[in-house]
Amino acid sequence: MQTSLSQEFELEVPKENKRNSGFQHWLKKEGSAYSMVSMYVILFLIFIAAPVVVAGLLSFTNFDTIQFPRFIGLKNYITLLTQDDIFMKYVLPNTLQFAAIVGPGGYILSFLLAWILAQLPKLPRTIFALILYSPSMTSGVAMAVVWKTLFSGDQTGYLNSFLLGLNIIQEPIQWLQSPQYLMVIMILVTLWSSMGVGFLAMLAGLLDVNPELYEAARIDGIKNRFQEIIYITIPSMRPQMLFGAVMALVSTFQAGAIGVVLSGSNPTPQYAGQLIVNHIEDYGFLRYEMGYAAAVSVVLLIMVLLLDRLAVNLFSSEDYL
């Protein structure tokens, strides 16, 4: 009985194989995987890939959102490099200063705090992780309630009334309107709300490091915890470090709204808080020169891509990427 059944079975299978063409065979094996990914791929193409391509194309045109774009070649890029003095005097230095402090600074801060949290037992660690992560989620509400009252320009603002009471200053300082202080405050507020997804990923990576490595290292002669961090912890959590670095990079260069919200005016007074995203919005939405704004955004994209390559070279190892 069994053999006859198996014989029948054996007769069935080759017939089916012959009837299947290459495509149907492929479809059976990998079709379901592709169909599950297709949802994401379609949305990615529509919302991320297509706008990038269109922005690249628009950057070579003159487009004022009402008439059809007029092709003008590289003129936008030439204007950006030679004639745009707001870009050269304010936007580029501001962006580089902001990115240099908030990017690595926020990243190192995230790593240090994650490392400190990894030493704690489970319950305090969870509570502190929630406390440190919440600013990145609530930055809008926190902005209105905390930062604007803290740095408010009249004598009733918290910082002003504190300093006035101690007689350190005689008149209230305009924190959010003065070009000297606005940048510093923007950096502070962004650092405070930079413990985002990258922080959580690094915490997870830290907790995942094999404790046997630490024991082996102690036997091998590592003297203090600092050496432990450099030689064992960081190399073991390279994927998480890379993820944190990319997230920090992207969010730093995308930060633009913070200056506008803090100072209450767009563009910020004397362009003190003008970052490259503000510059793009200025040319795009206030002056209706979409082609030029697209050109600036392509420059931003190239900057972020270059730095991203740098981060990948620094952090990735052959096993993962």
Contact set with other proteins (CB under 8 A): 62, 64, 148-149, 152-157, 171-172, 174, 177-180, 265, 267, 269-271, 286-287, 289
CB nearer other proteins, residue 8 or residue 85: 85
Q: In the bound complex, what is the minimum distance in angstroms from residue 258's beta carbon to other proteins?
A: 19
Nearest to 169 by CA among 158, 160, 177: 160
Q: Are 275 and 259 in contact (CB under 8 A)?
A: yes
Q: CB 276 → other proteins: shortest distance, Å?
A: 18
The HSE-up count of residue 180 (CA atoms within 13 Å, CB side) is 2
Q: How far is the CB of 156 from other proteins (least distance, A)?
A: 6
Distance of closest approach, residue 269 Cβ to other proteins, in angstroms:
4
Residue closer to other proteins (CB basis): 90 or 199? 90
Q: How far is the CB of 226 from other proteins (least distance, A)?
A: 44
Q: Which is nearer to other proteins, 104 or 179 (CB)?
A: 179
Tokens of 195: 């413990």
Q: Which is nearer to other proteins, 171 or 319 (CB)?
A: 171
Q: How far is the CB of 157 from other proteins (least distance, A)?
A: 7
Least distance CB 154 / other proteins (angstroms) = 5
Handedness of CA 215, 217, 223, 224 (dihedral sign): negative
The answer to whether the beta carbons of residues 90 and 239 sit under 8 Å apart is no
Using the minimum distance from each CB to other proteins, give the nearer residue, 34 or 158. Answer: 158
Give the nearest distance from C-beta 99 to other proteins in angstroms: 24
Closest approach of Cβ 274 to other proteins, in Å? 11
SS (H, E, C) the chain: CHHHHHHHHHHHHHHHHHHCCHHHHHHHHHHHHHHHHHHHHHHHHHHHHHHHHHHHHHCCEECCCCCCCEECCCHHHHHHHHCCHHHHHHHHHHHHHHHHHHHHHHHHHHHHHHHHHHCCCHHHHHHHHHHHHHHHHCHHHHHHHHHHHHCCCCCCCHHHHHHHHCCCCCCCCCCCCCHHHHHHHHHHHHHHCCCCHHHHHHHHHHHCCCHHHHHHHHHHCCCCHHHHHHHHHHHHCHHHHHHHHHHHHHHHHHCCHHHHHHHCCCCCHHHCCCCHHHHHHHHHHHCCCHHHHHHHHHHHHHHHHHHHHHHHHHHCCCCCC
Contact 89/272 with Cβ under 8 angstroms? no
**CB nearer other proteins, residue 87 or residue 199:** 87
Compare residues 64 and 208 and give the one whose CB is closer to other proteins. Answer: 64
Q: Which is nearer to other proteins, 271 or 315 (CB)?
A: 271
Of 85 and 220, the one with the shorter C-beta distance to other proteins is 85
